[in-house]
């Protein structure tokens, strides 16, 4: 995905002219508009630059020459010219050089940026018209539809309507294709065909009803049978006359006003936000400055389009009009380093997901789900149940977010336990078992399932109900994976264990057999704790609730998977009540096991479910976040039949009387189905195989031993390691040696770095804030900006599942640079020379910039 | 909106052929496909019917004649022929008769239905090809785009791609326009232009990657310069040869398979649902039969497309293939009488909302909101705060549903109270005050704010925390509005009060002055209760939480607004702690007042906020359901500055540490902005003025007194009554006299009928179930089916804000018929002859059916 800023400058209006079809008069329109602006629109002086990114046909016929000829003083550029007069994707087949989409967008951006600089120097306002080829979705040289290629710039669009028979339909459809890709349509223009089909009249009315401005343009002179000279003269007259017409004046007012409005909106949005918005998880005493609020104009792929803080907007007067002519860009792209609070999977502004959302909205809107059903909800339930590969899970209950899914899961578990053990949950205190540092959401029920902590301690109705175990953790330190017990508990839980590979940590057989002592210590520790709670204190428990492998909000704590396995095993075999356990192996025993996979599930850590890494089959699991690929809220609670049956009775009052209005809303379900299908194909992609290969314990060994043949066979089969990360192993190891770093964890798309902090760790710590700020605020030319989130002394980075190795490398390089910078280290530890080589590679990728070229004036 | 069934039959495949543009070969394709099927496709005998709903140009040139000529035995029909060869909306201008969209769709449906019958009689399978005019969004006779006009039938589409230059773009855009209107595209076909532009090749690859089938068709013979006879011969050869080609065989397999798959899916969906879905609020012990589950294929406007229960699908073999040739329709339209759990405002499948959702998805996807902002979220917050016209409210906090919004509101209120009164909410029990029968959601915190009831009593962690007042209610009985105190409390709260008009119930001045005793009784009752709770029992309270006017889930209980006013007044002046109240009039005093407007707000009861009817300014209000017009989950909690300030402190731990991943998701916010704008225009619509006029207390009087001039002036000014309903006053009065009815309430889009029930009322009662079932299951020809929900002995009907008077009348008439039927009353009470006249009118509207006509074989 192109890391370019969206195209908004103070002194330059960059417009993209799309046609509803080919041959609708795009170039005539561009010329007309250009001629108008050059004559000075809105009492300013304007310079015009016309850019044709891709042109096909003989260069002598090219649109740029045409514009140049008719608009005095226009600078014109064609970025790529192909000689066949066909669609660019066909024309490019025989070309020597086919630009990638990324290259095309960066070239275009660089070109417009040069304009901005040049116009600023000339003290003019600038209009840059970018005219596309063919229709909105005509393929570019790569074969990708143009509106997708140019989306990162998100230039305001003027859509030239089709005046011919059938043109109403094609114009509206073209507009819809633009809108569903997140474009703003500045105006629709249509040449008035003087009473033949009346398209212009219809379109004007139609679009204005939809709050899109529309302008009718005077008919182009009849040129059939004219000589070249006659044609030129006729058009000259046309441009002279109509470039000062009422209609084109109206259009230029619209365009200028929208530009100013957009600048004004961007300028004021932080202040408006401060006035009316109560932010989540925010101490507003600290947000006294509007600069503290990041303003997002849009997002695409892995990047936010973020507004520069006011410092760069000093040229704006109160009304949003530039006081001086300044070439300041308004946005910079920032890598979405928290995957927008752990939700993103398939990139922002993904057109496949937009269309899926629109389809379900068009087919159903929302339809109520009580006593009813629809296909997307059932298919999603089936897909999830199959994907979990857990023979216990049989039923799917829909809610809206992770917190409500947790509430439902807890209600399910408590009822099942109370029913079997004949406890009265309405009078007796039934607790849950869990891990220290757990988090399941912010509604009271979900809060009560976590130990007292900073999130809940000031919540008046919070009453932590349960017991939360200490546990050993997994960390990479100095290049090795360490299993470490909490301070002062090494006697109970064992000392450090070291492993070269993460897969070894998950090799339960080896760890049970090799260091049987730890397996046994875990069992002893858990049993004695339970004996104390249940037998001695007489407490009652209704469920074991935990996040498998990684405790997210708790600070990205990596739990020793062996401990989680042991805990489940002990809880399932423990006698919490004298009632005999059922014999059916799919029924829960001891207590129901609830896995909160809201953060860790659905490929966030690699596999469909992290429970497969643990080889545990929970009785209940909850899922949200990535479920819709990162588009909109939806959550599910999956449950076993044995849990489901606890609610069966002749009485309605015994049912699970829980529901939300938008339960199983079709848009969410259909988008989720689409997302999960896309993720399935990702799983088999080369990119993912390469990520996995980078963490393959065998890889180094085979290569080292030079077993050429075996290795190449293995390459064909693909790597077989269970654990891997999208973040390179070399990066993770590098970090783990860094003097400012205490330890690192990486799994799937997650990378978390615990920084050394003399003031102690925890949520209220500020250790990582410096690194976070350095990553976001570097405005140097080659800086890769990253928007990261911190949890106390932990800074973490989370990619989308579609993030490219190139983008990951750029972020990695930025991270290393800034870590050195803020920690005052020249270059951290360089354990092996091999890293050096990779640094070079990173650096090369980060530096790769399209050269700015001067404006071509042919 | 057309109340027609979606077009799916067992023995008939009805396809709609749309063109990516005009002149792309739609008719040639239709003829080719027809010729193929007539020759027998898939080992069956097929009859062909070709329908052109709207044709323009001379009838002699018409497409139907062309198809008839080339396909032996084809029946052909043109429904409307306009003679000018231009777009139908232009051609229709001079026509004597312009069909409405509704008429057109019903004529088309009737025509296809006749086919189904006829083919069944002939023991053939049938293929009906409906060929549209121009492109997908070309306007029909009414000027509305065709894809919108024909959407109620939602026929599977074959999209004929454009083979010309620019055709890739127009074909993909046309497909996107179809998808965002909820159409299923059976296939995209494109004529292979033999190597000129290669569109067919590109489109095949593009669409198959998007999981849409695409087929390339052989090029149409060159006919330029041919005589009519030569042309006919050339085409005859073409059809003969290519109607048995590999490609057309592939296409017919696709079409037949998709038809069978759709039948199969519909047949199995209830069983699949029963297997994997855990339904909300459902005792699954009672859902032992798949017939208990309504299967929705889609929805449009006010109507679900609901699958007939299996009884009507006996013709399906296990594989979903029709065993016998049967003309059974698969779907029937059912009015969404619960507004899909109170959410719907702008109709299902609203293309404006679909496009709004797609735009925001394309522009942002989801972007994280902590420490950040985006334009839709800020605009929505501002719009809501302005719309509330409540000078206290200043801040907007986003969550996902009504229940989470309630949790946030409660957390806010409790903190504000505990902080000011210096209570420790983490150890002391702080309760809330409310009304009996209240409901605020299903998460534990929201549950705890309601008194013990059937919804929560079996929830193990539920602990009702607070006190809930008895209160007098408003009911229409025997044509009059009665304010009634609960049984045994008339001494404390006063006896009955009667009012002719609902506005009188809200005339607080008159009621305070006229029957001062009641005002005083309310005060005394509330104060003495509070004294008992606070002074005698020493209880502590943190908020007054209530649903203004109508308690929804509690059984659509209409609270005496005078009581709610009094309760707020007393709570605000009561001394819950020795701490002195602040003097700023915008600060909360006594306790913060939280209004749960999730159900009652945003025009559900008429005005933007029901608090304006009560003339109360709450300190906190919560909103969801209608917020997005009924599309997808989003909720807000609005709060006053005084509440907001309670969370300001130097410590992050004092902040409102609440948030969900999709907080303020841009799709929800942008759809909400679009919805609220649409609702604003509705407010000023003629339809809404007429609804209001029907409840104007002045209306009858003026008319009765024959004050012609004053009346007509009043008509110009519009009615000024505060309260009104979309349901006719005459209907509500009729119901209130019905012997089976205890009382009725109606306000805004809500109508609730309390049926007399000897077994007692309440959630577990089954009194209204008979009426509900009668409304849904009548399969007689003229039946208007309504999907209604019951709450114990209460059956309620809730319209969208856009439901037309015609549809409301049809539902009203069905309701009256079925009420008579299930209660065994001939015709209830006919108090005045004037009703008789209206009944006639209703009946006429309900019976209005398009005549079935025989297939025209010209």
Please report the pLDDT score of residue A682 as a whole number. 94
Domain span including residue B431: 375-387+395-472+505-679
- Rounded distance, CA A489 to CA A484, Å? 10
φ and ψ of B23, to 5 deg: 65, 35
For residue B214, being part of any structural domain is answered with: yes
Q: Could you say which residues from 630 to 669 on chain B have a Cβ atom under 8 Å away from some Cβ of chain A?
A: 630-633, 639, 644, 647-663, 665, 667-668
- The reply to whether B276 touches chain A by the CB within 8 Å rule is yes
For B108, the enclosing helix (H) or strand (E) is: helix B101-121
The alpha-carbon gap from A69 to the nearest alpha carbon of chain B, in Å, equals 26
Please report the pLDDT score of residue B435 as a whole number. 98
Q: Is A367–B382 a contact, with Cβ atoms under 8 angstroms apart?
A: no
Q: Is the per-residue pLDDT at A852 higher than 90? A: no
Q: Is B373–A294 a contact, with Cβ atoms under 8 angstroms apart?
A: yes
pLDDT tens per residue, range A33-56? 999 999 877 677 899 999 999 999
Greater pLDDT, B180 or B228: B180
Please report the pLDDT score of residue B719 as a whole number. 83
- The reply to whether B249 touches chain A by the CB within 8 Å rule is no
Q: Is A764–B143 a contact, with Cβ atoms under 8 angstroms apart?
A: no
Q: Which residue of B has its CA nearest to A135?
A: B169
For residue B767, being part of any structural domain is answered with: no
**Contact indicator for B252, B36 with CB cutoff of 8 Å:** yes
CA-based nearest residue to A283, from B370, B814, B123, B765: B370
Q: Is A343–B366 a contact, with Cβ atoms under 8 angstroms apart?
A: yes
Q: Is the per-residue pLDDT at A444 higher than 50? A: yes
For residue B31, being part of any structural domain is answered with: yes
Q: Is the per-residue pLDDT at A83 higher than 80? A: yes
Instruction: Single out the residue in B679, B709, B738 at which a domain terminates.
Output: B679
CATH number of the CATH domain containing B670: 3.40.640.10
Compute the residue count for chain A.
858
Q: Is the per-residue pLDDT at A601 higher than 60? A: yes
pLDDT tens per residue, range B345-366? 999 999 999 999 999 999 999 9
pLDDT tens per residue, range B566-590? 999 999 999 999 999 999 999 999 9
A-B contacts at Cβ under 8 angstroms? 608
Crossing angle of helices A167-179 and B167-179, rounded to 10°: 70
pLDDT tens per residue, range A284-319? 998 888 888 999 999 999 999 999 986 444 444 444
Distances (CA, A) of A820 to A24, A127, A738, A766, A824: 56, 42, 9, 18, 6
Please report the pLDDT score of residue A425 as a whole number. 93
- The reply to whether A135 touches chain B by the CB within 8 Å rule is yes
pLDDT tens per residue, range B605-658? 999 999 999 999 999 999 999 999 999 999 999 999 999 999 999 999 999 999
Model confidence at B699, in pLDDT bands (50, 70, 90)? confident
Q: Is A137–B458 a contact, with Cβ atoms under 8 angstroms apart?
A: no
Partners of residue B655 in chain A, C-beta under 8 Å: 281-284
For residue B270, being part of any structural domain is answered with: no
Average pLDDT of span A677-701: 89
Q: Could you say which residues from 772 to 801 on chain B have a Cβ atom under 8 Å away from some Cβ of chain A?
A: 789
Please report the pLDDT score of residue B708 as a whole number. 56
Q: Tokens 């409005």 correspond to what residue?
A: A261
Q: Is the per-residue pLDDT at B328 higher than 60? A: yes
**Contact indicator for B36, B71 with CB cutoff of 8 Å:** no
How many Cα atoms within 13 Å fall on the side-chain side of residue B92? 17
What percentage of chain B has pLDDT greater than the value 70?
A: 90
Q: Across all residues in chain B, what is the average pLDDT?
A: 90
Instruction: Single out the residue in B664, B679, B694 at which a domain terminates.
Output: B679
Per the rule left: phi > 0, alpha: psi between -120 and 50, beta: everything else, A163 is: alpha
Q: Is B361–A354 a contact, with Cβ atoms under 8 angstroms apart?
A: yes
Residue in A21, A304, A648 closest to B170 by CB: A21
For A407, the enclosing helix (H) or strand (E) is: helix A402-421
Q: Tokens 């009985």 correspond to what residue?
A: B477
- Rounded distance, CA A61 to CA A178, Å? 28
Q: Could you say which residues from 295 to 324 on chain B have a Cβ atom under 8 Å away from some Cβ of chain A?
A: 295-299, 304
Model confidence at A81, in pLDDT bands (50, 70, 90)? very high
pLDDT tens per residue, range A765-780? 566 889 999 999 988 8
Q: What is the DSSP letter of A726?
A: S
Q: Which residue of B has its CA nearest to A359?
A: B180
- Rounded distance, CA B336 to CA A403, Å? 30
CA-based nearest residue to A794, from A759, A761, A770: A761
- The reply to whether B398 touches chain A by the CB within 8 Å rule is yes
Q: Is the per-residue pLDDT at A550 higher than 50? A: yes
- Rounded distance, CA A580 to CA A621, Å? 25
The alpha-carbon gap from A691 to the nearest alpha carbon of chain B, in Å, equals 25
Instruction: Give B801-853 as a DSSP string.
Output: TT--HHHHHHHHHHHHHHHHHHHT-SS-----HHHHHHHHHHHHHHH--PPP-
Q: Which residue of B has its CA nearest to A431?
A: B461
CA-based nearest residue to A752, from A547, A605, A628: A605
For residue A90, being part of any structural domain is answered with: yes
Q: Is A373–B269 a contact, with Cβ atoms under 8 angstroms apart?
A: yes
SS3 of chain A: helix, strand, coil, percent, to 5 = 40, 20, 40
CA-based nearest residue to A178, from B172, B125, B538: B172
CATH number of the CATH domain containing A212: 3.40.50.300
CA-based nearest residue to B666, from B375, B462, B406, B461: B375
Average pLDDT of span A77-93: 90
For residue A826, being part of any structural domain is answered with: no
The alpha-carbon gap from A822 to the nearest alpha carbon of chain B, in Å, equals 22
Q: Is the per-residue pLDDT at A699 higher than 80? A: no
Q: Is the per-residue pLDDT at B531 higher than 90? A: yes
Residue in A373, A404, A632 closest to B273 by CB: A373
How many domains does the structure of chain B reveal?
A: 2
SS3 B553: coil
Q: Is the per-residue pLDDT at A88 higher than 70? A: yes
Please report the pLDDT score of residue A823 as a whole number. 86
Q: Is the per-residue pLDDT at B674 higher than 50? A: yes
Please report the pLDDT score of residue A287 as a whole number. 82
Tokens read off for B118: 């006829």
Please report the pLDDT score of residue B326 as a whole number. 67
Greater pLDDT, A842 or A12: A12
Per the rule left: phi > 0, alpha: psi between -120 and 50, beta: everything else, B382 is: alpha
Out of A58-62, A225-229, B831-835, B840-844, give the one with best mean pLDDT: A225-229
Partners of residue B371 in chain A, C-beta under 8 Å: 279, 282, 287, 292-294
Cα angle for residues A747, A752, A755 (degrees, 5° grid): 150
Q: Is the per-residue pLDDT at A199 higher than 50? A: yes
For residue A327, being part of any structural domain is answered with: no
HEC string for B765-799: CCCCHHHHHHHHHCCCCCCCEEECEEECCEEEEEC
The alpha-carbon gap from B855 to the nearest alpha carbon of chain A, in Å, equals 30
Choose the mutation target among A626, A662, A680, A796 for the interface with B, i.e. most B CBs under 10 Å.
Answer: A662
**Contact indicator for A600, A549 with CB cutoff of 8 Å:** yes
The b-or-e profile of A826-852 (16+ CB within 10 A means b, else e) is eebeeeeeebeebbeebbebbeeebee
Greater pLDDT, A235 or A86: A235
Q: Is B359–A180 a contact, with Cβ atoms under 8 angstroms apart?
A: yes
- Rounded distance, CA A135 to CA A170, Å? 9
Partners of residue A372 in chain B, C-beta under 8 Å: 293-296
Q: Is the per-residue pLDDT at B335 higher than 50? A: yes
Instruction: Give B345-357 as a DSSP string.
Output: SS-BT-HHHHHHH
Is the ipTM beyond the 0.90 threshold? yes
Tokens read off for A613: 């890494």
Q: Is A658–B426 a contact, with Cβ atoms under 8 angstroms apart?
A: no
Asked if residue A242 and residue A381 are part of one domain, the reply reads no
**Contact indicator for A152, A105 with CB cutoff of 8 Å:** yes
- The reply to whether A358 touches chain B by the CB within 8 Å rule is yes
Please report the pLDDT score of residue A320 as a whole number. 44
Q: Which residue of A has its CA nearest to B147?
A: A169
Asked if residue B399 and residue B261 are part of one domain, the reply reads no
Distances (CA, A) of B49 to B35, B227, B852, B855: 11, 28, 15, 9
Q: Is the per-residue pLDDT at A855 higher than 50? A: no
pLDDT tens per residue, range B113-143? 988 888 877 778 899 999 999 999 999 999 9
Cα angle for residues B599, B602, B608 (degrees, 5° grid): 130
Q: Could you say which residues from 448 to 507 on chain A have a Cβ atom under 8 Å away from some Cβ of chain B?
A: 448, 454-462, 465
pLDDT tens per residue, range B42-60? 677 899 999 999 999 887 7
Average pLDDT of span B786-790: 96
For residue B468, being part of any structural domain is answered with: yes
Residue in B281, B662, B667 closest to A370 by CB: B281
Q: Across all residues in chain A, what is the average pLDDT?
A: 90
Model confidence at A172, in pLDDT bands (50, 70, 90)? very high
Crossing angle of helices B26-38 and B228-242, rounded to 10°: 50
- The reply to whether B329 touches chain A by the CB within 8 Å rule is no
Choose the mutation target among A276, A297, A355 for the interface with B, i.e. most B CBs under 10 Å.
Answer: A276
Instruction: Single out the residue in A627, A650, A679 at which a domain terminates.
Output: A679
Average pLDDT of span A326-355: 94
Residue in A87, A648, A667 closest to B197 by CB: A87
Greater pLDDT, A754 or B712: A754
- Rounded distance, CA B758 to CA B766, Å? 11
Tokens read off for B559: 């609270």
Q: Which residue of B has its CA nearest to A428?
A: B460
pLDDT tens per residue, range B444-498? 999 999 999 887 888 999 999 999 999 999 999 999 999 999 999 999 998 899 9
Q: Tokens 């909800």 correspond to what residue?
A: A377
Q: Is the per-residue pLDDT at B716 higher than 70? A: no
């Amino acid at each position: 995905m192109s890391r370019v800023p969206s195209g908004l400058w103070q002194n330059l209006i960059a417009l993209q002219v799309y046609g509803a079809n080919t041959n609708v008069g795009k170039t005539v329109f561009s010329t007309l508009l250009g001629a108008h602006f050059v004559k000075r629109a809105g009492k300013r002086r304007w310079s015009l630059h016309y850019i044709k990114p891709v042109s096909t046909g003989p260069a002598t016929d090219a649109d740029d020459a045409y514009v140049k000829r008719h608009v005095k003083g226009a600078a014109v550029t064609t970025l790529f010219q192909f000689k066949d007069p066909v669609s660019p994707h066909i024309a490019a087949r025989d070309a020597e050089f086919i630009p990638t989409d990324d290259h095309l967008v960066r070239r275009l951006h660089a070109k417009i940026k040069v304009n901005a600089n040049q116009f600023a120097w000339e003290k003019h306002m600038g209009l840059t018209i970018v005219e596309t080829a063919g229709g909105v979705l005509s393929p570019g040289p790569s074969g990708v539809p143009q509106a997708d290629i140019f989306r990162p710039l998100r230039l305001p669009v003027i859509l030239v309507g089709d005046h011919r028979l059938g043109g109403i339909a094609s114009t509206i459809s073209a507009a819809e294709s633009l809108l569903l890709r997140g474009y703003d349509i500045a105006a629709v223009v249509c040449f008035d065909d003087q009473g033949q089909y009346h398209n212009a009249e219809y379109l004007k009315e139609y679009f204005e009803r939809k709050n899109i401005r529309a302008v009718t343009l005077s008919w182009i002179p009849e040129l059939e049978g004219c000589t070249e000279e006659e044609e030129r003269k006729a058009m000259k007259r046309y441009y002279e006359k109509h470039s000062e017409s009422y209609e084109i004046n109206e259009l230029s007012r619209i365009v200028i006003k929208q530009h100013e409005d957009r600048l004004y909106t961007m300028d004021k949005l932080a202040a408006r936000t401060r006035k009316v918005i109560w932010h989540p998880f925010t101490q507003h005493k600290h947000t006294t400055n509007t600069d503290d609020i990041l303003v997002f104009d849009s997002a695409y792929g892995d990047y936010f389009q973020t507004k520069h803080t006011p410092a760069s907007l000093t040229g704006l007067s109160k009304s949003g009009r530039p006081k001086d002519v300044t070439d300041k860009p308004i946005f910079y792209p920032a890598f979405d380093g928290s995957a927008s609070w752990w939700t993103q999977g398939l990139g922002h502004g993904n057109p496949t997901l937009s269309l899926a959302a629109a389809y379900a909205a068009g087919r159903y809107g929302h339809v109520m789900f009580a006593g009813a059903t629809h296909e997307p909800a059932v298919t999603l339930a089936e897909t999830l149940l199959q994907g979990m590969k857990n023979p216990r899970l049989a039923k799917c209950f829909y809610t809206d977010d992770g917190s409500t899914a947790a509430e439902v899961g807890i209600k399910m578990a408590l009822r099942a336990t109370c029913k079997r053990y004949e406890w009265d949950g309405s009078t007796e205190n039934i607790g849950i078992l869990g891990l220290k540092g757990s988090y399941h959401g912010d509604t009271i029920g979900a809060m009560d399932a976590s130990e007292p902590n900073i999130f809940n301690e000031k919540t008046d109705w919070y009453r932590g109900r349960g017991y939360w175990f200490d546990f050993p953790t997994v960390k990479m330190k100095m290049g090795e994976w360490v299993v470490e017990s909490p301070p002062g508990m090494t006697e109970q839980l064992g000392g450090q264990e070291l492993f070269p590979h993460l897969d070894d940590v998950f090799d339960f057989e080896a760890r049970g057999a090799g260091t049987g002592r730890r397996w046994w210590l875990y069992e002893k520790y858990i049993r004695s704790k339970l004996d104390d709670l249940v037998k001695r204190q007489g407490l009652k428990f209704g469920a074991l609730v935990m996040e498998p492998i990684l405790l997210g909000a708790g600070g990205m704590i990596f739990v020793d998977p062996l401990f989680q396995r042991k805990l489940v095993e002990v809880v399932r075999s423990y006698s919490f009540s004298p009632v005999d356990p059922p014999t059916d192996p799919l029924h829960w025993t001891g207590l129901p096991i609830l896995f909160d996979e809201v953060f860790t599930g659905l490929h966030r850590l690699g596999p469909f479910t992290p429970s497969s890494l643990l080889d545990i089959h929970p009785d209940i699991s909850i899922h949200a976040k990535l479920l819709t690929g990162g588009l909109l809220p939806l959550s599910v609670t999956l449950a076993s039949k044995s849990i489901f049956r606890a609610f069966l009775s002749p009485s309605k009052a015994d049912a699970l009387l829980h529901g939300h209005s938008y339960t199983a809303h079709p848009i969410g379900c259909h988008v989720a189905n689409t997302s999960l299908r896309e993720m399935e194909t990702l799983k088999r992609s080369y990119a993912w195989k390469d990520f996995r290969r980078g963490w393959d314990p065998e890889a180094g060994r085979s290569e080292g031993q030079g077993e050429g043949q075996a290795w190449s066979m293995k390459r064909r089969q693909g790597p077989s390691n269970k654990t891997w990360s999208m973040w390179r192993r070399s990066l993770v190891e590098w970090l783990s040696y860094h003097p400012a770093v205490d330890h690192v964890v990486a799994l799937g798309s997650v990378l978390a770095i615990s920084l050394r902090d003399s003031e102690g760790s925890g949520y209220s710590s500020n250790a990582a804030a410096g690194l976070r700020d350095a990553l976001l605020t570097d405005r140097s030319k080659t800086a890769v900006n990253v928007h990261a989130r911190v949890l106390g002394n932990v800074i973490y980075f989370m990619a989308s599942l579609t993030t490219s190795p190139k983008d990951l490398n750029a972020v990695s390089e930025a991270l290393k640079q800034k870590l050195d910078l803020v920690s005052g280290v020249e270059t951290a530890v360089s354990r092996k020379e091999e890293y050096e080589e990779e640094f070079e590679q990173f650096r090369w990728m980060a530096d790769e910039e399209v050269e700015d070229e001067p404006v071509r004036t042919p």
